[in-house]
Structure 1
């Protein structure tokens, strides 16, 4: 059963992960975010009750 032989596929997987971690990831992380995160307000939202027309 050739699919149980990890010899050729382990090196392919290892090279793929190293390529991702060392080359692609820093390039992706260097982009600026279009929407910068903002702090959430700690004040509770003021809500009004719904008025049902049939009551």
Structure 2
């Protein structure tokens, strides 16, 4: 069964992961987000109960 032979595909997978981890990922992580997250407010809005007309 030739699909179980890891000889060429293991090397390709390792090289592609090393390329991604060492070259592409640091370049992508260096970009600054255009929309930085804002802090969430701790104030909870006051809610009023709904008055149902049929009760």
Give me the TM-score of the superposition, normalised by structure 1. Answer: 0.80
Runs of 4+ in 1 over 2 A off after TM superposition: 46-55
Aligned length: 55
Structure 1 unaligned segments of length 5 or more: list them.
none
RMSD: 1.6
Structure 2 unaligned segments of length 5 or more: list them.
none
Give me the TM-score of the superposition, normalised by structure 2. Answer: 0.80
